[in-house]
A and B are shown apart, each in its own frame.
Chain A
Amino acid sequence: MSKIILARILQGIPVLLIVVTATFFLVRAAPGGPFDAERSLPAEVVKNLEKRYNLDAPVLDQYVDYLGNLVRGDFGPSFRYPNRSVTELIATGVPITFELAFYAAVIALLIGVASGVIASVRPNSLQDYLPMSLAMTGICLPAFLLGPMLVLIFGIWLEWLPVSGWGYSPGDKILPSVTLGSAYAAYIARLTRAGMLEVLLQDFIRTARAKGLSMPGVVFRHALRGGLAPVVAFSGPAVAGLLTGSFVVETIFQIPGLGRFYVQAAFNRDYTMIMGTTILLSCLIVMLNIVADIFAVWMNPRLRQAK
């Protein structure tokens, strides 16, 4: 088991290296630079700035320098916010984005698994069609549509919940979390249904029923573990998607999370900031996928011992 984990982690390193390299050269290849503002600066100033941030060196040297700093855990200074390092800036956004992603994941799993299970127990009945058509709607509705709709209904018409912010007034975390989580809830519902339907047809389910177990007993004790396998495999990419995909929701609801920094950094050509957020997020994606894989192996006793 520990061998697989180690192997998977080692496999992640080249992936990250490719991401770092591609991003590094791509942002530099994009037209414009960090100091091109509407008001053009005197050539002397630009030259000084480039010297200060080591941008006058050949690109390859910059790359090697950057990698060297990276290994030491230094993301460098931000080009846009002088006197603040990228690490500091990210640190202010990360907890908020993580919290948002966590609530969204909880909502997605609870709603998704529950409605998938309910639908699978009586396939092709109202109990199946109702949650599944809701799920389809959830998949089709993008966050930038669902978010404002929820704000309109619950924030403006009903005045139940605040329309924006994060941690300023009670209940302002609900709408962003629901907006972010609902699409994933829909995916998870469909995956759960498919997985459960397959497991419920297996012979061992008949054995469980022949033992005298009730339907909930059969579902929870015998079917759920196998039926959730696809969901577990999906959960890695899903959580990664929640983390990286939150910038739309963060923008709609004015949340000072990581996503906002990311978007602004891209507009401002804040090279180090783009690099920092990209590296952080790709690290998370790689890690979460590894965790999901390990979890999937651990859940299946046959795989657990075969390796």
Chain B
Amino acid sequence: MVYATRLTRAVHREREAFMSSQPILSVRNLTVVFSIRGRKFTAVDKLSFDIERGETLGIVGESGSGKSVSCNALLGLLPQPAAKISGGQAWFEGSNLLELREKALRKIRGKRISMVFQDPMTSMNPYIRIGDQVVEPLLLHSHSSVAEAKDRAIELLEQVGIHDAARRFDQYPHEFSGGMRQRAMIAMALITAPDILIADEPTSALDVTVQSQILELLKTMQEQHGVSLILVSHDLGVVRRVTDKLVVMDRGVAVEQGETRQVFAAPAHSYTQKLLDAIPHTAKPEAHRFLRKGAPVCLRAKGIKVTFSIKHRPFTAVDNVSFQVRRGEVLGIVGESGSGKTTLSQAILRLVSMDAGEVLLEDVWIHRLRGAALKRQRKKVQMVFQDPYASLNPRMTVHDIIAEPIRLHRLAEGVRAVTAKVIRLMQDVGLSPEWANKYPHEFSGGQCQRVAIARAIAVEPLLLIADEPVSALDVTIQAQVLNLLLELVRRKGLSMIFISHDLAVVRYMADRVAVMKDGRMIESGETETVYARPKERYTRELVSLEMIAE
């Protein structure tokens, strides 16, 4: 009897030792092929990696690199029937996830391996109360009663930083902010005490300060609950902060993997190097700096105030903001979502109505104009928006998109003259004129943004307002578009207002920077001065977060 117990104990110990030396998940040669309208392409090509218990693995890559596809493939969540796993194994506790039947896989999904997705706005069911969504995996996978599950959920929600969780349990997703929703998602993923947590771009849809809180939370939760974390991200800063190991993916292939620290210190593959270089973490290039201090003022805005009424309550979106931009200067406006940056830029163009304030463009008081006179002035200010696909008409060719404002404002007469001008503009923004008859969907995001820029400069504006122009683009493409904008500003003597939530990008672009928070401009000055010696607490917080990410 004693012997038997001792034996089982020994066996048990040996098994434990064996298990702990084994990676919790071991992926070998995972290959995923998509067939779309008869054409096949390999989204993931022979991806292999291991993750140990309690370890954090980062998968980095640009959009289309196959990082999300690989994670979805592990849990059988690929879009059907377009995607097919054509090879490889994924060993988890002695079974190959890729060959498990749906029924067996369902017992792993949400119980042993759970996921947190990118956009907490769309990843939670808007029709179901937060609490009911959080308890759902537990009720599904265990025998706990509804009351027990609720207690556990409230406890977890408090743990992830949702105060007053008992009350908020019954609220709907739209009553939660983005960050709060992501916290709830994390609680939902952890409630079954899984072995692996896959976080697919968990912070990409969030503001900088919130991003950092969520990353911190993921890290703490991972340590507290002893789960292994797979963090998928396009953001090298994010991955560097939290991961132990790293896989760099490029077009479906893992081009480099290893200890995070090592990869960052000495990247072995040229693509990794390219990714690292792409982050503009430098001051504005000397060649593009604005030097003529005495240049005439291009735009002067004074005391701008915009209020909206939301649910019959007035809400001040922009509160008494004044600034000026000289000719040839780039003014950066930074702030988080909801800080009023975009509203401010729209108020300048009178696209939203101002409650108070004056705007002087060159020598014209814009705020007094209306009708045709206003339209003439608006032409002098052009905008470039965040989402390049959404801002181009999908049914028009690139030629027609760029030609439209030229025809509208009679900047060239006759078909030939218009086409000649379109070709010149395409060359200006680095697009081959041969592509003039293509449609927007045939272009990549970066190329679409170039088209949008060509359209904006077609009317020869004085001022360009770029509203988050690179936020939707991949890092390597971002750098190209930023440099193009700087080049155009210099060559054409433009002024620019550059709006972004990304401090690093603004630092690279702007001569002067203004920080917005809750509709007010809380700080402004020479870019390097503000970044080196921020006066306001909020600016200090933003800048310090940015430094960590680097």
Contact = CB atoms under 8 A, between A and B. Distances in A.
A226 interface: yes
A204 B141 CA distance: 19
B126 interface: yes
A125 to B, nearest CB: 9
Given A211-B140, A301-B172, A206 B77 contact: yes
Contacts of B75: 210
Given A202-B122, A209-B109, A210-B75, A225 B127 contact: yes
B140 A210 contact: no
Nearest to B185: A207
Nearest to A213: B140
Contacts of A306: 311
Given A203-B119, A204-B124, A210-B75, A302 B106 contact: no
B120 to A, nearest CB: 9
B444 to A, nearest CB: 23
B117 A208 contact: no
Interface residues of A, number: 23
Given A203-B119, A214-B106, A301-B172, A208 B141 contact: no
A266 to B, nearest CB: 45
B77 A300 contact: no
Given A210-B75, A211-B109, A204 B122 contact: yes
B114 A210 contact: yes
Interface string A185-209: 0000000000000000011101111
A260 interface: no
A203 B140 contact: no
Interface centre among A207, A210, A300, A305 (most CB of B within 10 A): A210
A49 B109 CA distance: 81
Contact of A212 (B107, B125, B174, B311): B107
A208 B124 CA distance: 9
Given A212-B107, A212-B111, A301 B127 contact: yes
A204 B137 contact: no
B126 A204 contact: yes
Contacts of B175: 305
A306 to B, nearest CB: 7
A222 B132 CA distance: 11
Contacts of B127: 225-226, 299-301
A277 to B, nearest CB: 40
Interface in B85-126: 106-111, 114-115, 117, 119, 122-126
B417 interface: no
Interface of B: 72, 75, 77, 106-111, 114-115, 117, 119, 122-128, 136-137, 140-141, 172, 174-175, 185, 188, 311
Given A203-B117, A226-B126, 10 more contacts: A203-B123, A204-B123, A207-B115, A210-B77, A210-B117, A212-B111, A212-B140, A213-B140, A301-B126, A306-B311
Q: Which 4 A-B pairs have the closest CB atoms?
A: A212-B110, A211-B110, A212-B109, A203-B122
6 contacts: A209-B77, A210-B77, A212-B106, A212-B109, A214-B106, A301-B172
